[in-house]
Every structure is written in structure tokens, then in C-alpha cells.
Chains A and B, each alone.
Chain A
Amino acid sequence: MSDNYAISLKRTTALMAAITFLSVITVFNLSSVFSNKVGAAQLESRSLTLSSTLDGSKNVGTAGSETNGAAAHHTFEFTASAGATSATFTYCTTAIGGCTAPTGLVLPANPGASSGTTSAASNVLTWTDTISGGANSVTFGTTSGITNPTSAGSFFVRIQTIAAGPVNVDEGTVASAITAGIEITSRVAETLGFSTTGDFGGVGAPGSTCAALTGSGAITLGDPTEQTLSISSTYDNYSAFRIYTNSANGVNIQYEGDTLRRTPSSVISHMPTKAGSVPASEQFGLAVDSVSTGSVSTASRSATISFANVDQAAALANVPDGPLTIASDYDTGSGTITSGGTARFAYVVGTPTTIASTAGFTNCKTVAVRYIANISPLTPAGTYRTTVVYSAVPTY
């Protein structure tokens, strides 16, 4: 202990007494000071939530959406004392001290609110409503969105609730931050798988890859031994196509080709409109056969055709997979082909014609197409041929 120290202890004692006295006085003085700020309590549990934290130059999407910082909604929550009938919200770059408005902030003159009425001037928003003693929540910008500050970083809003008089009631500051969004881009490759075959031995299970059909596309219409058509009965045969695509706007499957032709001037008439088989009249047509069985017999083949890997009617309409819609002229290929039979066929010459389509993606669809041919007693003898070309046209 030194003299100086001993002296300072005495002084300290007196000093302590003086400070204590002053502290008591100060406490009371502060109480009286805060009564206008006096007795001003602090708003509790106060927060600010923005509809978008993007800066005010970002004007994408509707007002109040997360991508629109140019027309944002600001939601304030706070716990207040009862008795206030209005409040001011002052936007600043700092929490205390002198207030500078955040750069780029625009408070519309009449921003609108989820309750009560509002007005704004410069960086001060005034809300008039009965403020509950307890929890309060109000959203501003509901009529005319608030433009967020245009610079990234924090900003503060100083809240003051006011009772009639006017008398300041409660106060508090909240904060929020403007920031860049996380912009994510990616690309999904467009896909299309389309194949055809006349060899049903090549219609294997699609598997997870929707495996392409294989085998020859050549089919015959007529007696399986002599491959001749008849005026007393209808001959039919089948081909298949398989399709998958991720086109968002669907795909059209089309066919195009000539009718059965022997010479430039000698043809078997095609079926320009949907109709049933009429033996002894010239007809060439096709339709989708959405059979319900696993195999089918055809007079043009000596053996049955397995449809095990061909999608049946229900599968064609499988919504989760993306339905395949058969065009109305070609949707009745199942059924009998005797005179007056139930199956219906059509064929258009000279222009690509849609036989099936999807509205969007389709995972994997395998379709059987049925062909018929009839001749009349006047049909010239000879070999008649045609090539039917199928194409898939997706729209991404």
C-alpha cells in the first residue's frame, strides 16, 4: 500500500457513496426521461420478415414473391404494451444513432397493410391501427410493394408505437439483410427412342432402357403359303412400334405411304375414312390393335403372334407413365374382320398422318398396328406392294 493508494481508498469510499447516491438519482431521472421517451418500454419478441431478400433491382415474378425484391412485402412481429394507436417504422442503415435511409429503398406513399392504414414518406412508414397489448403482426406492401434496398447487406427498422397525445409507448429495432439468391441452372438432354418391326420375334421386353425393336419390317398380306388375297375373306397382319421420349410437349407418331400398288395405275383402293372390313371390295387400311390377350392369330401367318411385350389398352392410357392417345380413326383395330365385323380401319395416302400421340413424356410404349387388305373380283392379278414409313415428331 502506498500513500497514494491509501488516499485513493478514502476517496474511493466517498466516491462510492457519491456514485451510489447519483445512481439512485440517475435511475429516477432516467425513469422520468423515458416517460416521453419516458417509461418507454422495449418491444419484445420483435422481428422483420421480408417476402424476398433480393435487392430492389430484382423484379421477377409477382409482387410479394420470393424473387421480387422490387415489390416486396415486409412483415413485422412484436410484442407491445397496450394503448398505442399508431406506430412508425423508420428504415435506417444503423440500429442506433443518426438515421440514414438504406440506398435504393422505396416506400410507396400508400403501401397498404394487412390491417389498419398506412402511409409513408421518405424512409418512414406510419401505421394506424389499434395495437394489441401482446403479440402483433402486420404486413406492409400489400397494395403497393416496397422496393428493397438495392445494396446487399443489413438494414434496420426502428419501431415506435404511439398512443393518443401523442405519447410514445414502446420502441425497438429489428434487422434484416439483403442478399443474392442462389441461382441454379442445369440441363436435361432431350430424348427420343422410336423403332418399328414386322418381326414379332423382335418385340422383346423393353427393360429399363426401353430396348429398341429389332427384326425385319417386311410383312405380307394374304395366304401364308401363296401370299394371295381373296375375294371371300379378309387377310390381316401386324407390325409394331415402340416409343419413349421426355418431350415436355408430347410427340406425334405418324405414318406416310402409298396404298398397295401393282403398277402406276393399278392399285388396291385405300380406306380414306374409318370403316369396317368388306370382303370382295378393294380395301387397304390400318389401325392400332390394343389387344387384351397375350397372343393373336392372323390368317397371313401360320403361327400366332406373341403380344407379351406389347402394351395393352390399359397400359397405353397409363397416366403416371404418360398416356399414349390413339387417333380416333385408328383406335378400333381390335375385333373381327369378317363382313360386318367390329374392327375399323383407315388409311390416308400422300400426307403424313398422325396415328398416335402423347401430351407430354412417355416412358415406354409398344404398340401393335393391324393391317387389312380386301380385293374385288375385278382387282387385277399381280404383286402389290407399299412401304409405310413411321416417324415420331416430339415437341420439346
Chain B
Amino acid sequence: MFVLLAIVASPLIASAQMSSPNYSIDEVFIGSGGELEACSDSYCTQQSAGGTGGQAESDGYGIMAGFSTPDEPTLSLAVTNNIIDLGLLNETTTAAASANFTVSNYLSNGYIVRVSGPPPTNATGSGSRSLTALSSPNPAIPGTEQFGINLVANSDPGIGMNPVQQPDSSFAYGTPTIAYDQEDNFKYEDGDIIAESLSESGQTDYTMSIIANVGPTTAGGRYRTVLVIQAIAVF
């Protein structure tokens, strides 16, 4: 249990989050303005008034410091542009499209993003056939049956964007994992971790680039799949 007291000498006293006998005090703010160094017997802090100051952490300690820092852990994941039609696949051109998702989390030790679901599958007759998923990062090759994704900008095909940190990289830290961060190389494996942040992070906007190719023996018919995205935060 850790109790933080932020105390500033001031003509004014302002009480912030207080407690009843049965709840803990996470943060206390008294006064306004700033102090270069305010100390108790065992703790010293440098403080300033204003917006959220930022994050500091060591192996066993972390703190969000500033004028006003929320005390409620959060995890948010939103998928947009999620209806993808790759159209009529042919042996001469790579089919490509993109989907988007955003992740942010607060008061955690980071997050991972996992994708699950089969490659596009044609269920017909007594069996089903899925497009061959790329088991390791590889380029898109027309005429060879493939299915893969990545989370970066590509030139071949021209699809996708690098992750965008909101409002900038000093507040958000989400990144694609190694297998999904290579330009013009695609991979897909059900259950793979495709993105992560090693610490709590503001909002990262990801663009998922999706490619598919077929070969001369790719079974004719309609193919479909639903890829499920999950963000798992460790608090």
C-alpha cells in the first residue's frame, strides 16, 4: 500500500480526493501553484500546477504527476472501417484493403493486441477451404495463394499507414510486433500478438493492411472470415 501526499505551502488550502473510513486515498492535492521541492520525512517531490505532467516509473513504482490525474484504470479498443470486401480475386493482381483500430489504456503495465480467426474460407459442399495464410513475413506474390496482414505503410501494394500516436509519441507508445512491422511483408497466424505497448499508453491509431492472392487451383466460390481483435491490458 502506498499513500502519496502532495503538499504545497500556500495561503489557500484545497481538498481533493478524500476518503471515508473504508476507502484508500490514492492522490491528495492541497493548494495550488508549484514548489520546487516538498518533502516529508521519507518522500520528496517536485511539483507544478497545470495539466497532467506525465509519467514516471521505476521497476517497482509508477506515478502520474500533475495538477489533475485520473485515478480510474481504463482500456479502450475501437475498430472502425471493419467491413472489408477484397472483391474478385485473380492471379494477376494482389487484392488489398485496410481496416482501422485504436487502443489506449491507463494505469496499467501495458497491453497487447491479439488477432484471431481463420483466413478467408470457402465453405462448400462437404468441406471448407481457406486461403493459405502466410506463416512468416513474406511479400505479396500474385498467382500464389496467400493471405496476410501487417500494421505499417506499404508500397507493394500501396496500402496502409504506420501507427499514429495521439496526440504525439510522448503520450502514446503502441507499436506493431516484429512480424507485423515490416513494410511490404505480410503474415497471418490465428492468435498472433500483432501490437503492444510496454507501458500504459495514450491512444494509438493502427491501420491493418490486408492482402490476398490466389493461384490457379484456388477453389472457386465466396470466401469469408471475421478477424477478432482483442486488447489485453495487464494492471
Contact = CB atoms under 8 A, between A and B. Distances in A.
Interface string A165-194: 000000011111101111111111111000
A98 B75 CA distance: 18
B79 A180 contact: yes
Contact of B216 (A185, A244, A248): A244
A362 B217 contact: yes
Nearest to A68: B228
B223 A37 contact: no
B68 interface: no
A319 to B, nearest CB: 12
A96 B223 CA distance: 44
Interface in A19-76: 19-20, 23, 26-27, 29-31, 33-34, 36-37, 39, 41-42, 45-50, 52-54, 60, 66-67
Contacts of B82: 180-183
A95 B217 contact: no
Nearest to A244: B216
A109 B232 CA distance: 26
Contacts of B75: 154, 175-177
B234 interface: yes
Contacts of A395: 125
A30 B24 contact: yes
Interface stretch (A2-10, A80-88, A120-128, A342-350): A2-10
A133 B75 CA distance: 27
Contacts of A29: 21
B11 to A, nearest CB: 4
Interface of A is mostly: mixed
A259 interface: no
Contacts of B210: 182, 184
Contacts of B21: 29, 33
A249 B124 contact: yes
B4 to A, nearest CB: 10
B123 to A, nearest CB: 9
A246 interface: yes
Contacts of B220: 188-191, 246-248, 396
Interface size band for A: 35 or more
A12 interface: yes
A363 B125 contact: no
Contacts of B162: none
A37 B23 contact: yes
Interface string B1-38: 10101010111010000010111110000100000000
A179 B77 contact: yes
Given A188-B219, A361-B219, A175 B73 contact: yes
B201 to A, nearest CB: 14
Contacts, number: 222
Given A30-B1, A186-B87, A186-B212, A53 B217 contact: no
A47 B235 contact: yes
Contact of B78 (A179, A321, A362): A179
A381 interface: no
A322 interface: yes
A30 B25 contact: yes
B83 to A, nearest CB: 5
Contacts of A177: 75-78, 230-231
B71 to A, nearest CB: 7
Contacts of B3: 23, 26-27, 30
A152 interface: yes
Nearest to B81: A182
A184 B225 contact: yes
B1 A31 contact: yes
Interface of B is mostly: strand
Contact of B228 (A45, A67, A153, A321): A67
Interface in B40-89: 40-41, 71-79, 82-89
Given A47-B234, A47-B235, A96-B72, A248 B127 contact: yes
Contacts of B212: 186
B233 A19 contact: no
A95 B208 contact: no
Contacts of A246: 216-220
Given A23-B5, A96-B71, A183-B82, A248 B221 contact: yes
B166 interface: no
A361 B215 CA distance: 11
Contact of B84 (A42, A46, A183): A183
B227 A175 contact: no
B219 A185 contact: no
Contact of A186 (B120, B228, B234): B120
Contacts of A47: 232-235
B11 A53 contact: no
A315 interface: no
A16 B7 contact: yes
Given A9-B9, A182-B208, A189 B219 contact: no
Nearest to A192: B220
Q: Which of B88, B126, B216 has the most chain A CB atoms inside 10 A of its CB?
A: B216
Given A154-B75, A175-B73, A187-B222, A181 B117 contact: yes
Given A30-B19, A186-B89, A186-B120, 12 more contacts: A37-B23, A54-B226, A175-B73, A176-B231, A177-B76, A181-B228, A184-B224, A187-B88, A188-B88, A189-B220, A364-B216, A396-B124
28 contacts: A19-B30, A20-B40, A23-B3, A30-B1, A30-B3, A34-B24, A47-B234, A48-B232, A96-B71, A96-B72, A154-B76, A175-B74, A175-B105, A176-B75, A177-B75, A177-B77, A179-B77, A182-B99, A182-B228, A184-B85, A185-B120, A186-B88, A190-B220, A210-B216, A246-B216, A247-B220, A248-B220, A395-B125
Closest CB pairs A-B (n = 8): A190-B220, A248-B219, A186-B86, A175-B75, A177-B77, A181-B226, A361-B217, A66-B116
